[in-house]
Structure 1
């Protein structure tokens, strides 16, 4: 195909996404943010991001190839998974080094944010302040990394809320629907402790979005009261990988992830569950009755089309879904400390203040 043909096809795909975004922006359901930097600063940021993306891509692909080579031996595969998870959680094995926020030590970084308890307060009495239940993405197969724990610490400080970073069973040992069932149980546990739905917000990044929104559907089906709102960072909501961004970004240097890595994780997680199951792929769900949802992402993200479809479906089903997206070359830009990440957290803080309804004391 000629260079002219390639450019024409690229323009067609851009226009398909652009027109949908324009409609969402016209109804104030999507907003684009530009990272403010000089020409030299933006060029350096693009160069660093592309280098980071290529490193992550190469490491992920090499690890997946190694994992596949162990598939013939259950013992070897289990040992490999155990070593990978331990190293990932401790920070010994990462795609890139973790960057600790200023003034934050390692011991603090590895500890989820907790508000100080008043010794005179009875154990079951809860604070009449917002609390965020957070699940970190790890492709459904990995525990939270140090970088994600650091990000949640900065997030908690920025929004001045207690954040509970909760665990879930991991695939492939515990495939779907174990993870959303675990998260739903965590939410119900908060209610049993005396927290009110009006005080609770749910949040997640990447694959954690599928887990959270699957849990919301389970809670809704069982007649439980739903939380005040949901915040999603670079959400992965379509395990069928049917959005255009999965194709365009897989061929781009702007994304560290490719369809191969996403398909590998989705297969381990879903097993025999259809990829279009609404509980696993929320882009196919009926969003009627869901709480307000705020999505933060990058226009270069592999999952960008998921964000657009969630907003379009929300508009169709009467659910308030809003997108803030940046012209950042970073996937999950909040994971590294930057002005864009600080801006993202400020927008989340405004969202919480807008939708928080203090429950009875």
Structure 2
């Protein structure tokens, strides 16, 4: 049910990596707190607040506001649309390809209020190459203009659209990182309530599944500075997203959901992550409700360690590849 990975290297190498990661964490933490304080100073004027959030989103998506360097990947599908058919492909070949190859619907976390960053797009590109699957990054409406449940409804609609395009549920996998996990698992419950055929499996990286912030890791990681994120930033994003919705709503906080009938779930996280207890509770709840949930966690001090290329990220992607291979059921020849 759970497996712990240790970052292998010499004692000196491990110490250097730990130091670099903690410096990165402090830079991210200080930057986020600074931006949060700046945003709060604009809450008195709706026009100023709207301008500020538009500027933030533009800078976040373009990379201008990155706290760590990145680059723009090429060839990534970012709107949930299938690539256009080649001129030499017949409709029958296209249909067989859609029905017999795994496809991943991915939601990048942005605290429910930001679009995917360049670093997240880069990470998804590396994941697609590692698992040799088509990955579609699904856009959704953003809070606070479009609060809960707009995002999970958008994702559920994208899933239904994929079925209408000829993809079989047995070939579809859902994936997300951080806040995207709440959106994906909320959409899964919407699909289940509608009686839809559920996907073959779900992959979650550093999932944020408890918007009530009730896990012990929210306190310990914030106090010890082991994570680049703190309770105040999480609470700020949760408030903008939920607004009047209770924080314990299962559609928003899946740790409170009944996981009966859910497809297999693979969770990857770091034991120093702010959301570590969310991952543990999702795994325990899955066992309680008969859902096959496995958690792999690393001794890395990085939040969402797959964002940066490393041996740990390669291990993570390798486990994802094995998970998809185990749970993918191609159509009979």
TM bin, normalised by shorter chain, reads: over 0.9
For 1:247 and 1:207, locate their aligned partners in 2 and report how far apart those are by CA, in whole Å: 18
**1:194 aligns with one of 140, 155, 166:** 166
Instruction: Report the equivalent of 2:91.
Output: 122
- TM-score with structure 1 length normalisation? 0.88
**2:143 aligns with one of 171, 178, 184:** 171
TM-superposed CA distance for 1:359, in Å, is 3.1
In the TM superposition, 1:1-361 aligns within 5 A as 29-98=1-70, 100=71, 106=72, 108=74, 112=78, 117-119=85-87, 120-122=89-91, 125=95, 126-359=98-331
Name the SS of the counterpart of 1:251 in structure 2. Answer: helix
Partners of 2:99 and 2:168 within 8 A in 1: no
Runs of 4+ in 1 over 6 A off after TM superposition: 113-116
Unaligned runs of 5+ in 2: none
Cα distance change, pair 360–180 in 1 and its aligned pair in 2 (3 A): farther
Partners of 1:109 and 1:146 within 8 A in 2: no
For 2:314 and 2:84, locate their aligned partners in 1 and report how far apart those are by CA, in whole Å: 24
1:197-228 deviation digits (Å, cap 9, x = unpaired)? 00000000000000000000000000000000
For 1:193 and 1:63, locate their aligned partners in 2 and report how far apart those are by CA, in whole Å: 41
Instruction: Report the equivalent of 1:9.
Output: none
For 1:118 and 1:87, locate their aligned partners in 2 and report how far apart those are by CA, in whole Å: 34
- TM-score with structure 2 length normalisation? 0.95
For 1:174 and 1:80, locate their aligned partners in 2 and report how far apart those are by CA, in whole Å: 17
For 1:115 and 1:130, locate their aligned partners in 2 and report how far apart those are by CA, in whole Å: 15
For 1:222 and 1:109, locate their aligned partners in 2 and report how far apart those are by CA, in whole Å: 34
Cα distance change, pair 96–107 in 1 and its aligned pair in 2 (3 A): closer
Partners of 2:99 and 2:331 within 8 A in 1: no
Unaligned runs of 5+ in 1: 1-28, 101-105
1:262-293 deviation digits (Å, cap 9, x = unpaired)? 00000000000000000000000000000000
For 2:296 and 2:40, locate their aligned partners in 1 and report how far apart those are by CA, in whole Å: 37
For 1:221 and 1:110, locate their aligned partners in 2 and report how far apart those are by CA, in whole Å: 32
Q: Cα RMSD (Å) of the superposition?
A: 1.6
For 2:47 and 2:225, locate their aligned partners in 1 and report how far apart those are by CA, in whole Å: 36
Partners of 2:201 and 2:263 within 8 A in 1: yes
For 2:242 and 2:136, locate their aligned partners in 1 and report how far apart those are by CA, in whole Å: 26
1:119-166 deviation digits (Å, cap 9, x = unpaired)? 323296225110000000000000000000000000000000000011
Partners of 2:77 and 2:137 within 8 A in 1: no
Residue-pair matches, total: 327
For 1:344 and 1:53, locate their aligned partners in 2 and report how far apart those are by CA, in whole Å: 20
Name the SS of the counterpart of 1:182 in structure 2. Answer: helix
